[in-house]
Chains A and B, each alone.
Chain A
Amino acid sequence: METPAIRVSGLVKRYHGSDEPTVNGLDLEVREGEIFGLLGPNGAGKTTTLSIICGLLKATSGAVQVLGEDVTRHPGRIKHLLGFVPQDIALYQTLTARENLNFFGRMHGLRGAVLKGRIADLLAVVGLEKSADRRVSTYSGGMKRRANLAAGIIHQPRLLVLDEPTVGIDAQSRGLIFDNLRLLSSGRTTMVYATHYMEEAQKLCTRVAIMDSGRVLLQGAPGQLVAERPGCRNLEELFLELTGRSLRD
Chain B
Amino acid sequence: MRLLAAIWKELLLLLRDRGGVAILFVMPTAMVLITTLVQEDALRAVRGGRTSVLVAVAEGDRFGAAVVKGLSDSGAFEVVSELRGRPVTEETIREQLRLGTYTIGIAVPTGVAERIAAGADRLLARMMPAAMAPPSPAVTEPPGVVAAYFDPSVRAPFRRAVVSALERLSQGVEVRVMMGKIEGLMSGVSGKPAAGPTWDAEPHVAVREVSTGQGGADVMPSSVQQNVPAWALFAMFMISIPLSGGIIRERDGGTLVRLRTLPVSPATILAAKVIVYAGVCLFQFLFLLVIGSQVLPRLGTASLDVGTQYAGIAAAALAAAFAATGFGILMGVINRTTEQSSVFCATAVVIAAALGGVMVPSFLMPYKLQQAGHFSPMQWGLSAFVDLFLRGGTILTVLPQLAKLVAFGALTLGAAVLVFRRRE
Known A103-B5, A106-B5: A91·B255 in contact at CB below 8 Å: yes
Tell whether, in the assembled complex, residue B255 and residue A76 are in contact, meaning their CB atoms are under 8 Å apart: no
Tell whether, in the assembled complex, residue A92 and residue B13 are in contact, meaning their CB atoms are under 8 Å apart: yes
Residue interface bits B3-22, CB-to-A below 8 A is 1, else 0: 00110110011001100000
Tell whether, in the assembled complex, residue A79 and residue B12 are in contact, meaning their CB atoms are under 8 Å apart: no
Nearest-CB residue, chain B, relative to A151: B258
B240-271 with Cβ < 8 A to chain A: 249, 253-255, 257-264
Interface 9-mer from A32-40, A107-115, A192-200, A236-244: A107-115
Q: A91 CA to B16 CA in the complex, in Å?
A: 15
Tell whether, in the assembled complex, residue B258 and residue A99 are in contact, meaning their CB atoms are under 8 Å apart: no
Tell whether, in the assembled complex, residue B263 and residue A90 are in contact, meaning their CB atoms are under 8 Å apart: no
The contact of B264 among A56, A99, A107, by CB within 8 Å, is A107
Q: A84 CA to B257 CA in the complex, in Å?
A: 9
B377–chain A nearest beta-carbon distance, Å:
30
B241–chain A nearest beta-carbon distance, Å:
16
Nearest-CB residue, chain A, relative to B422: A16
B4-49 with Cβ < 8 A to chain A: 5-6, 8-9, 12-13, 16-17
Tell whether, in the assembled complex, residue A111 and residue B1 are in contact, meaning their CB atoms are under 8 Å apart: yes
A193–chain B nearest beta-carbon distance, Å:
16
Tell whether, in the assembled complex, residue A54 and residue B5 are in contact, meaning their CB atoms are under 8 Å apart: no
Q: Chain B residues with Cβ under 8 A from A90's Cβ?
A: 253-255, 257-258
Tell whether, in the assembled complex, residue B257 and residue A86 are in contact, meaning their CB atoms are under 8 Å apart: yes
Tell whether, in the assembled complex, residue B257 and residue A107 are in contact, meaning their CB atoms are under 8 Å apart: no
Residue interface bits A146-161, CB-to-B below 8 A is 1, else 0: 0000011000000000
Tell whether, in the assembled complex, residue B258 and residue A106 are in contact, meaning their CB atoms are under 8 Å apart: no
Known A56-B260, A95-B12, A106-B1: A86·B254 in contact at CB below 8 Å: yes
Q: A84 CA to B259 CA in the complex, in Å?
A: 10
Q: A151 CA to B2 CA in the complex, in Å?
A: 16
Residue interface bits B364-400, CB-to-A below 8 A is 1, else 0: 0000000000000000000000000000000000000
Tell whether, in the assembled complex, residue B13 and residue A95 are in contact, meaning their CB atoms are under 8 Å apart: yes
Q: Chain B residues with Cβ under 8 A from A107's Cβ?
A: 2, 5-6, 259, 262-264
Known A80-B263, A104-B262: A94·B13 in contact at CB below 8 Å: yes
Tell whether, in the assembled complex, residue B2 and residue A56 are in contact, meaning their CB atoms are under 8 Å apart: no
Tell whether, in the assembled complex, residue B253 and residue A88 are in contact, meaning their CB atoms are under 8 Å apart: yes
Tell whether, in the assembled complex, residue B13 and residue A84 are in contact, meaning their CB atoms are under 8 Å apart: no
Known A76-B263, A109-B2: A89·B253 in contact at CB below 8 Å: yes
A87 interfacial by beta-carbon distance below 8 Å? yes
A82 interfacial by beta-carbon distance below 8 Å? yes
In the complex, which of the residues B5, B12, B262, B264 has the most CB atoms of chain A within 10 Å of its own CB atom?
Answer: B262
A186 interfacial by beta-carbon distance below 8 Å? no
Nearest-CB residue, chain A, relative to B252: A88
Tell whether, in the assembled complex, residue A84 and residue B2 are in contact, meaning their CB atoms are under 8 Å apart: no
Q: Chain A residues with Cβ under 8 A from B257's Cβ?
A: 56, 84, 86, 88, 90
Tell whether, in the assembled complex, residue A79 and residue B261 are in contact, meaning their CB atoms are under 8 Å apart: yes
Known A93-B253, A95-B9, A95-B12: A109·B263 in contact at CB below 8 Å: yes
A222 interfacial by beta-carbon distance below 8 Å? no
A90-B255, A107-B262 given; name 4 further pairs at CB < 8 Å: A92-B9, A94-B12, A106-B5, A111-B1
4 closest A-B pairs by beta carbon, nearest first, are: A88-B254, A106-B5, A90-B254, A79-B263
